[in-house]
């Protein structure tokens, strides 16, 4: 599994006379209007998925045309550990809405959650790369259905597999660097003013439940109106905060966002979009509520800012950050 991206936009010209984003579609793309609209929507989404950044437009169109849109009910198992024979277990998936838990059985047969997947996450690659049974179960998380694009083994091996492998190698190399003697990845978090006074055991817990994620320029990180499920700290780059189409704030490295929806249990009150290529560090709602939420509210350095943002989330105040 990989670090993922949240909040993709679908701002493509759906059928616009055979053009996409001002560019003509590949000449071989001759499907009817409905098929073209579906593929255009899929293309727009896939273009923002990190493992596919380097794929050229023509190849990505072919991938989008082969995609199957699927939906899974809350609590259902999409793939099961040990399976590998039927069609569901020989496909590659990219999540376009909802979330899922990754579970593995221990030696005693007890399942435990080892990862959480969300928008832009992919799964199913290991079984296809190794031609072996699934090494984990993927189960829909929460109370809303999970929607995904799925791809057959032929499309995966022909157009996607090499990019997955390169991404995995680069990610593993980054992980080793962060965990090396220099400890650069962790030190960067520990040195943030926001978390400096967090007790070491609590900080270690937060780090274990954290996720680093890169966003390309103009990519939405959170969307106004969406449910709040993560708390973010911006590590690199700049982001803009947009409410009702108007930019209300600009955040820089070291700033945080996303806490208002978690503290007030309400939808996101603004969109946060990368102004430049941006790296975020984020934790789940549970980790935020268990540790960071209480710490931030008791810390004079952040309490005033959080209260200002919470007030801005109420009707009649257009200032502040999501």
pLDDT digits (tens, 9 = 90+) for 221-241: 999 999 888 889 898 899 999
161 and 197 assigned to the same domain: no
d(CA 195, CA 293): 11
Last residue of a domain, one of 167, 201, 219: 167
Which contacts of 109-114 are long-range, i.e. CB under 8 A and separated by 24 or more positions?
A: 111/137
Distance, CA of 282 to CA of 312 (rounded, Å)? 22
Structure confidence at residue 60 as a pLDDT band (50, 70, 90): very high
Lowest-confidence pick of 7-16, 95-104, 242-251, 267-276 = 7-16
Largest CA distance in the chain: 61
Worst-scoring range by mean pLDDT, 113-127, 198-212, 222-236, 265-279? 198-212
Both tokens of 226, joined, read 């969406």
Here the tokens at position 17 are 């006379």
- Residues 117, 202 within the same domain: no
Q: Are residues 159 and 237 in the same domain?
A: no
262 in a structural domain? yes
The string over 213-241, giving b where at least 16 C-beta atoms fall within 10 Å of a residue's C-beta and e elsewhere, is bbbeeebbbbbbebebbbbbbbbebbbbb
Alpha carbon dihedral 50, 51, 54, 55, in 10-degree steps, equals -120
Q: In what order do the strands lie in the sheet with 111-117?
A: 77-79, 137-141, 99-105, 111-117
Residue 146 inside a domain? The answer is yes
The tens digit of pLDDT for each residue in 148-176 reads 999 999 999 999 988 888 776 666 665 55
Overall average pLDDT of the 184-210 stretch: 65
Residue 72 has a pLDDT of: 96
Say yes or no: 251 and 142 in one domain. no
pLDDT in tens, 269-320: 899 999 999 989 888 887 787 666 556 666 666 666 666 666 665 554 444 4
Q: What are phi and psi of 77, to 5 degrees?
A: -95, 125
**Chain center to CA of 272:** 14
Mean pLDDT across 177-201? 57
Please give the tally of structural domains in the chain: 2
User: Is 305 in the same domain as 225?
Assistant: yes
Which of these three, 105, 137, 167, is where a domain ends?
167
Alpha helices per DSSP H over 116-183: 125-130, 153-155, 161-179
Domain that holds residue 283: 184-312
Query: Higher model confidence: residue 86 or residue 135?
Result: 135
Look over the chain and give the mean of its residue pLDDT values, rounded to a whole number: 77
Boundary residue ending a domain (167, 201, 222): 167
Q: Which two tokens stand for residue 21?
A: 């984003």
Any idea what the CATH number is for the domain that residue 256 is in?
Answer: 2.60.120.10
Read off the pLDDT band of 68 (50, 70, 90): very high
Residues 30 and 56 in one domain: yes
pTM above 0.95, yes or no: no
| 109 and 243 within one domain | no
Residues 6+ apart with CB under 8 A from 246: 318
Q: Are 28 and 147 within one domain?
A: yes
What's the confidence (pLDDT) of residue 12? 33
318 is a domain residue: no
**What's the distance, CA 309 to chain centroid?**
24
Residue 143 is assigned to a structural domain of this protein = yes
Phi, psi (deg, nearest 5) at residue 234: -85, 120
The structure tokens listed for 185 are: 């990845």
- 155 and 32 assigned to the same domain: yes
* 296 within some domain: yes
Is there a single domain that holds both residue 109 and residue 241? no
Same domain for 218 and 138: no
Classify burial at 152, counting beta carbons within 10 Å of its beta carbon; exposed 0-12, middle 13-18, buried 19 or more. middle
Same domain, 240 and 286: yes
Distance in angstroms (rounded) separating the CA atoms of residues 173 and 177? 6
């Amino acid at each position: 599994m990989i670090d993922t991206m949240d909040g993709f936009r679908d701002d493509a010209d759906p059928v616009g006379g055979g053009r996409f984003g001002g560019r003509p579609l590949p000449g071989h793309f001759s499907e009817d209007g409905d098929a073209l609209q579906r593929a255009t929507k899929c293309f727009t989404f896939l273009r923002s998925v990190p493992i596919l950044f380097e794929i050229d437009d023509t190849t990505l169109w072919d991938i989008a045309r082969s995609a199957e849109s699927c939906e899974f009910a809350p609590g259902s198992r999409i793939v099961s550990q040990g399976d590998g024979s039927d069609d569901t277990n020989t496909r590659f998936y990219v999540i376009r809405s909802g979330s899922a838990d990754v579970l593995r059985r221990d030696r005693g047969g007890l399942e435990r959650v080892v990862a959480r997947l969300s928008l832009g996450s992919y799964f199913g690659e290991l079984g296809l790369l190794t031609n072996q049974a699934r090494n984990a179960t993927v189960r829909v998380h929460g109370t809303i259905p999970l929607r995904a694009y799925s791809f057959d083994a032929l499309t995966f091996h022909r157009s996607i597999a090499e990019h997955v492998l390169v991404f995995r190698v680069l990610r593993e190399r980054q992980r080793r660097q962060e965990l090396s003697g220099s400890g650069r990845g962790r030190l960067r978090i520990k040195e943030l003013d926001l978390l400096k006074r967090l007790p070491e055991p609590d900080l270690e817990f937060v780090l274990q439940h954290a996720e680093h994620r890169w966003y390309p320029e103009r990519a939405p990180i959170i969307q106004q109106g969406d449910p709040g499920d993560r708390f973010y700290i911006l590590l690199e780059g700049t982001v803009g905060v947009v409410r009702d189409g108007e930019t209300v704030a600009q955040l820089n490295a070291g700033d945080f966002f996303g806490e208002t929806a978690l503290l007030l249990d309400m939808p996101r009150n603004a969109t946060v979009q990368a102004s430049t290529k941006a790296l975020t560090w984020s934790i789940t709602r549970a980790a935020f509520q268990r540790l960071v939420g209480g710490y931030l509210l008791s810390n004079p350095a952040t309490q005033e800012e959080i209260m200002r943002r919470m007030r801005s989330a109420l009707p009649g105040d257009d200032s502040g950050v999501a």
